[in-house]
Amino acid sequence: MGAFDFPSAPEESFRAFLRQAEQLEGERLAGAIPKEYFEPRVGRGLAGFAVSWLLYAGAIVGVAYAPSRLLWIPLWIVAGLGGWGLHCIAHDCGHGSFSRSRRFNYAIGHVSLLPLIYPFHAWRHVHNMHHSSTNHLEFDTDWRPVPAGMFERMSLWDKTVYVSTRTWAFWGGTINYWAESALRPGFFPKASQRREVRRSMLFVAAVTVPYAAVLVYFTGFTGLLVYFVAPWLATHAWFSATTLMHHSASDIPYLTAEYWTRNASRLLVTTDYVYPRWLLFLTHNISIHTAHHVAPVVPYYNLPKAQETLKARYPGMVRERRFSFGQMWEIIRHLHFYDTESGFYADLARNKVEPKVAVSRAAEGAQ
Amino acid sequence: MFNRKKIQRPEGPLTEQALRQWLVDYLVVHVEIPREDIDTAKTFEAYGLDSRVAVQVSGALEKVIERRLSPGLLYEYQSIDALTGYLAAELKL
């Protein structure tokens, strides 16, 4: 159900994307992944949960005992990695792949999102919206670029937030989404969703308010900033950087209702950044993301195998790239608006950004 | 600023007429347009709706139809009649 009628002047790169999308029509993508990969192993999930809590708490204890304040920043980044890992555990819980028990998944999910002060059901419903509309120009909830013409009609505050979070303050992008939907049941169209969100908010308040009070009592407001707010910001920085890079690239379009298809949204609009093994372990394979979009119920520890089967079944369609800060810089430097002519991106000066096909990891290896 | 006046969701099955009536009521209560001045064929812009109110209208409307709406909807369908006609077709009312 869309209102936009773009792109107005599509070029070859847009048509090439549509041709690829057409090839996937009628395919049951998840069928490429063997059934046994869908089976959760609760012990493995709990191990990930424990590792991330230890990392988060350990880094905060490290801040308390650090011999020099210079160590605080790296320790906050580590705490953020712990908090981000916990988000990735909650992510499995939200998709029902942590265990077969919905109640247990919800319990672990609620506890895992505490460092982010994110009510689990609010996060779950927003995340489901992202999955059901990935790279939909009107309905995606994550990092959706707006046409410059629409930006012009936004309020000054909304414009400031939009431009900042797509440029220098990209690390705060998910804080903006959190502010929009996490503590605001009215964001959700269905009454049943709003009821669940209110319950999750009560849980978050019941834990974080006493925790903050205890922190302030024993360590003062500085303690609250150093032991809670800074790790919270760092967790959001990981959250923002990762999610921004997943679906934003100069050659990956956001699509109007006319061109958006379910299968293309699952297979063709994600870039998987290849992390070193230790980072894959600590982020619970969140960067192996195409297989996740094809079959969200595959538990995180089975994603590498699922991704391999997907690559074999759809050669050349799964986008894997080596992670680089340069890639991230490209995104925040150029990919600012939706270009209504080409269907890809325009920058802040309203200049069209040429879709640049990044070198795939396989091609890099061949060089 | 904290305008909490609530327009009741139409009772019974949703129809094009019920949606039209709901939009009229919304404009009367929230934008404070006298009911006799409302013409369902007139554009929202003619009533002086800014982008913030447009977002509020579409947010409230989402709860009535229990579905998400495109943020561009009120710009594309610029009168009550055009909007309800579009929604009735989409929702097969």
What is d(CA A253, CA A269) in angstroms, rounded to the nearest whole number?
8
**B90 chain-A contacts, CB cut-off 8 A:** 1
Domain residue spans of chain A: 12-26+42-366
The CA-based angle A284-A205-A45, given to 5 degrees, is 20
**B70 chain-A contacts, CB cut-off 8 A:** 1-4, 138-139, 257
What is d(CA B87, CA A346) in angstroms, rounded to the nearest whole number?
31
In this predicted model, what pLDDT tens digit does every residue of A51-94 receive, in sequence order? 999 999 999 999 999 999 999 999 999 999 999 999 999 999 99
Please judge whether B59 and A4 are an interchain contact, meaning their C-beta atoms are less than 8 angstroms apart: no
Q: Residue A287 above 80 pLDDT?
A: yes
Q: What tokens appear for A361 in the block?
A: 């990891």
Q: Residue A99 above 80 pLDDT?
A: yes
Q: What is the pLDDT of residue A98?
A: 98
**B77 chain-A contacts, CB cut-off 8 A:** 3
Closest C-alpha among B31, B76, B34 to residue A258: B76
The model's confidence at residue A363, banded by pLDDT at 50, 70 and 90, is: low
What is d(CA A41, CA A316) in angstroms, rounded to the nearest whole number?
31
Q: How far is A161 from chain B (nearest CA, A)?
A: 15
Please judge whether B66 and A190 are an interchain contact, meaning their C-beta atoms are less than 8 angstroms apart: yes
Q: Residue B3 above 70 pLDDT?
A: no
> What phi and psi values does residue B6 have, to the nearest 5 degrees?
-110, 135
Sign of CA pseudo-dihedral A359, A360, A364, A367: negative
In this predicted model, what pLDDT tens digit does every residue of A200-210 receive, in sequence order? 999 999 999 99
- Under DSSP, the state recorded for A35 is G
Please judge whether B70 and A150 are an interchain contact, meaning their C-beta atoms are less than 8 angstroms apart: no
Its ipTM equals: 0.85
Q: What is the pLDDT of residue A275?
A: 94
Is B67 domain-assigned?
yes
Of A146, A155, A189, the CB nearest to B68: A189
Q: What tokens appear for A242 in the block?
A: 């990762």
The total number of structural domains in chain B stands at 1
> What phi and psi values does residue B43 have, to the nearest 5 degrees?
-75, 155
Angle between helices B51-65 and B16-30 (to 10 degrees): 140
Instruction: State the CATH number of the domain containing residue B72.
Output: 1.10.1200.10
Three-state secondary structure call for residue A100: coil
Q: Residue A365 above 50 pLDDT?
A: no
In this predicted model, what pLDDT tens digit does every residue of A19-42 receive, in sequence order? 999 999 999 999 999 999 999 999
Q: What is the pLDDT of residue B65?
A: 93
In this predicted model, what pLDDT tens digit does every residue of A221-250 receive, in sequence order? 999 999 999 999 999 999 999 999 999 999
Please judge whether A3 and B65 are an interchain contact, meaning their C-beta atoms are less than 8 angstroms apart: no
The model's confidence at residue B73, banded by pLDDT at 50, 70 and 90, is: confident
**B2 chain-A contacts, CB cut-off 8 A:** none
- The answer to whether the CB of A232 falls within 8 A of the CB of A314 is no
Three-state secondary structure call for residue A363: helix
Taking residues A304-317, what's their average pLDDT?
Answer: 96
Q: What is the pLDDT of residue A367?
A: 40
Of B66, B72, B77, the CB nearest to A150: B72
Is B6 domain-assigned?
no
Q: Which residues contact A188 (CB under 8 A, 6 or more apart)?
A: A122, A125, A181, A194, A197
Q: What is the pLDDT of residue A223?
A: 98
What is d(CA A132, CA A130) in angstroms, rounded to the nearest whole number?
6
Q: How far is A121 from chain B (nearest CA, A)?
A: 17
Residue type at position A135:
N
> Whole domain around residue B45: which residue ranges?
16-90
Q: Residue A165 above 90 pLDDT?
A: yes
Q: What is the pTM of this model?
A: 0.93
